[in-house]
Structure 1
Amino acid sequence: MTVMQGNAGYARGASAYARVGVESSVMSASPHQLIVMLFDGAQAAIRAARLHLQDGRIEARGESISRALNIINNGLRAALDIERGGEIATRLDSLYDYISTRLIEANLRRDMAALDECDHLIEEIASAWREIGSTTN
């Protein structure tokens, strides 16, 4: 076995271990904690996109922005209940739509300010969501 084969095996093992850890966290999380995890994931993807933009890694930037868009549209927006959530849910839906549009623009225009804006908007919502969680526990 070469060093490269050993390192590749270690990387696969570490990756599998991380996946199990994430899956365990998801399986044991409350609905509130799952939303917090979605916010965290979206922000991590945006931070990665920012780094890729700075380093000129076009494909990686696109993948990170796609990950953020997926979390926002298929996670956060999909979790909204417009009928029961009323005006708050409607406003959040509009805000998520705006964030999605800005992320697409950030990718197309290589716009760091748009990534920063999206990260800031998500943090505003996430911090309020975390505050709600701390008062209900």
Structure 2
Amino acid sequence: MNPMKALRAYQKVNSHAQISEASPHRLIQMLLEGGLDRLAQAKGALERGDIAQKCLLLTKAIDIITGLRQGLDEEKAEDPASIQQLDSLYEYMCTQLLKANTSNDPELIDEVARLLITVKSGWDAIATQEVAQ
């Protein structure tokens, strides 16, 4: 058996187990982590000149951000204005990644990564507060 195939199979089973056991809050964290991973991989592909892989990975990052955006629920929010701001931020990120994809601009990828890191740090802080309580 190919060791890389075995590793990928294990990772797939492990990620499915994590997803099935995760809280909604943890699922958002996992999506943010996945988005950041895809952005890093896309930037690496761009640096290697692998344009097809860069395109695929940026598309996956856009899909993740779109999923985060679709998961926003203004009606359940304590502060609907913050949900609208987050929606606008996600829309901006997708626009920047589309531009990065067409122009092969690593700076745009970095900009979106920084924004996602900021959002993720907020989610991580919420998790830390919940554990402390």
State the TM-score, normalized to the length of structure 1: 0.90
Unaligned segments of structure 1, at least 5 residues? 1-5
Q: CA RMSD in A?
A: 1.0
**Per-residue CA distance 1:27-50 (angstroms, 9 max, x = gap):** 111111110000000000000011
1:60 Cα shift?
A: 0.3
1:14 Cα shift?
A: 2.1
Unaligned segments of structure 2, at least 5 residues? none
- Give the aligned residue type for 1:59: A
1:122 Cα shift?
A: 0.4
Separation (CA, whole Å) in 1 of partners of 2:74 and 2:113: 24
1:78 Cα shift?
A: 1.5
Tell me what 1:3 maps to. Answer: none
Instruction: Pick one of 74, 89, 95 that aligns with 2:89.
Output: 95
Instruction: Pick one of 32, 44, 51 that aligns with 1:39.
Output: 32
1:87 Cα shift?
A: 0.7
Tell me what 1:14 maps to. Answer: 7
Instruction: Pick one of 28, 35, 39 that aligns with 2:21.
Output: 28
Are 2:100 and 1:109 aligned? no
1:82 Cα shift?
A: 1.9
**Per-residue CA distance 1:46-76 (angstroms, 9 max, x = gap):** 00011011111000000110110111102x1
- Give the aligned length: 129
Tell me what 2:114 maps to. Answer: 120
Are 2:58 and 1:68 aligned? no
Sequence identity percentage: 33
State the TM-score, normalized to the length of structure 2: 0.93
Tell me what 2:75 maps to. Answer: 83
Q: Which runs of 4+ in 1 moved over 6 A?
A: none
Structure exhibiting the larger radius of gyration computed from Cα positions: 1
Separation (CA, whole Å) in 2 of partners of 1:22 and 1:115: 25
